[in-house]
Structures are given as C-alpha cells and as structure tokens.
C-alpha cells in the first residue's frame, strides 16, 4: 500500500461536503487498466476516507483545480450540476506559435478513436457525427514562439480543449497525441539542433485555473482558483507583445 501525507495534496478548500484540490501535472486521477498505483483518488481517500468520490477528471498531464465529493450523496448532487452545466470551468493554455486570433469559438464534434495497439479508446477525433463540442477562447498574450490563452469549455468531452486547439494548428505545449505525427520527436534527428517543441514544463501546457459551482447543501455560489505549476513561471514572466 502506498503511503501518503497531506503534503501530497494541495488543498485549496475543504468543508464537510467538498474538497477543492490543485492537482499536479503527471498524476492520474484514478486507476487505469492494470495501473493501481499512486493516483489523486488514492491520495484523497487515504487522507479523507474511502467515501470520497471524484466527480470529474483532468488528463494526467493537465494540472489544476478539481472538486472532490466527500460522500456519495454530495457526488450525486455535483453530477447533476455538471450534467446541467451549472458548473463552469476556466483554463489557461500555453500553445506553440504566434496565435493569430484575439478570441473565438471552436465548434468541432468529437468521437472516440480506438488505439491501434489495444481496444482501449484513448484518443478523440473530429467527427461530424460525434458529440457536440464547443470551446471558447481568448488571447491573453503572445510572442513569436508561444501564446497564452484563456479557455472555457462549453461541453466536457475527453481531451476537448487539446484537440480543439490542435485543430486550429496550435497544440498545447508537450502535446503527445494531437499534432503532426512524429515532428517534435524527429526534429533533432533531421535538423541537428534543439527542437522548438522542447520546453522546461513537465506536463501539458494546460491548467484548470478556476471552477465555479453551487455548494451542494447551502446552495451558495462558490469560486475556486488554482495557481499554475511553478515550472510555468519562465513562460509567464517572459517578455510578450
């Protein structure tokens, strides 16, 4: 059994009903396949008890704010808020290149795509017959090499923001799935110089910075924010236009 301590959790808020956690990049939300090791769920349940439930997820490489239900009743209430779109989320993203748009919306339906290596559906793809998927975006700042965006997913599909940004030609930093196949990995081999896709950021250039919801019992409006990882600092502090 993996031992944890509260140092393994960045708790933004807690009460008798919910927890707000700033998930680090690189940590799985819950066990996947044969992997039963360290996960956000394991850490939360170790410290706060086995009744704690995840009511949404972030990709392993994505950092940011997550809401945890302290028991099944709270989880059911929060599931309803998610399904009725009463919970709003805001992300920031670092993307490759000089993003040309000030603001806009990506309307690209998404469907699951089976991996060629296994039957597990790990990727998504644009599909006119897929599930409706909408993401609004706004440029915060940009340089010739990178751009910083603010995004609001109007729907909650798997990998939605990542594939929507890639569909515009501007994948998030360290994107492993949705970009020109092989290019970031073969660049140094063919051109004998450092790849522009290499960054000091450990995870994806995607961070869930804010979540707004209604408290499951008091019905008060709540808003929680989470700072991006420390390794974003060099990008956020550099000179921009």
Per-residue model confidence (pLDDT) at position 6 = 53
pLDDT tens-digit series, residues 156-165: 999 999 999 9
Tokens of 124: 């998504």
Do the domain assignments include residue 236?
no
Do the domain assignments include residue 188?
yes
Residue numbers annotated as active site: 59
Do the domain assignments include residue 240?
no
Do the domain assignments include residue 36?
yes
Per-residue model confidence (pLDDT) at position 188 = 43
Do the domain assignments include residue 48?
yes
Structural domain for 215, as ranges? 6-231
Largest CA distance in the chain: 60
Per-residue model confidence (pLDDT) at position 123 = 75
How far is residue 108's CA from residue 163's CA, in Å, rounded to a whole number? 9
Q: Is the dihedral of CA 114, 119, 122, 128 positive or negative?
A: positive
**125 by DSSP, 3-state: which?**
strand
Do the domain assignments include residue 213?
yes
Do the domain assignments include residue 43?
yes
Tokens of 205: 């250039």
CATH number for 198: 3.30.2350.10
Per-residue model confidence (pLDDT) at position 193 = 44
pLDDT tens-digit series, residues 32-46: 766 667 899 999 999
Torsions phi, psi of 233, nearest 5?
-55, -45
Q: How many domains does the chain fold into?
A: 1
Do the domain assignments include residue 74?
yes
Per-residue model confidence (pLDDT) at position 235 = 77
Low-confidence ranges of the chain (pLDDT < 70): 1-7, 33-36, 114-122, 180-198, 239, 241
């Amino acid at each position: 059994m993996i031992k944890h301590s509260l140092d393994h959790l960045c708790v933004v808020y807690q009460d008798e009903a919910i927890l707000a956690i700033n998930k680090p990049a690189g940590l799985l939300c819950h066990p996947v396949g044969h992997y039963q090791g360290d996960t956000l769920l394991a850490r939360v349940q170790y410290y706060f008890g086995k009744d704690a439930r995840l009511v949404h997820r972030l990709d392993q490489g994505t950092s940011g704010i997550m809401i945890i239900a302290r028991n099944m009743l709270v989880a059911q209430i929060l599931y309803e808020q998610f399904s009725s779109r009463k919970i709003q989320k805001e992300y920031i993203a670092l993307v490759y290149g000089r993003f040309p748009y000030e603001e806009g919306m990506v309307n690209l339906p998404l469907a699951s795509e089976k991996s060629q290596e296994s039957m597990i559906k790990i990727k998504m793809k644009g599909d006119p017959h897929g599930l409706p998927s909408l993401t609004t975006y706004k440029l915060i700042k940009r340089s010739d090499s990178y751009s910083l965006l603010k995004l609001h997913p109007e729907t909650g599909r798997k990998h939605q923001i990542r594939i929507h940004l890639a569909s515009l030609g501007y994948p998030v930093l360290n994107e492993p799935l949705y970009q020109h196949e092989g290019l970031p990995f073969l660049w140094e081999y063919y051109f004998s110089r450092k790849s522009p896709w290499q960054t000091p950021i450990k995870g994806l250039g995607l961070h869930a910075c804010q979540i707004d919801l209604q408290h499951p019992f008091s019905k008060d409006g709540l808003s929680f924010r989470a700072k991006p990882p420390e390794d974003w600092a060099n990008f956020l502090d550099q000179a921009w236009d």
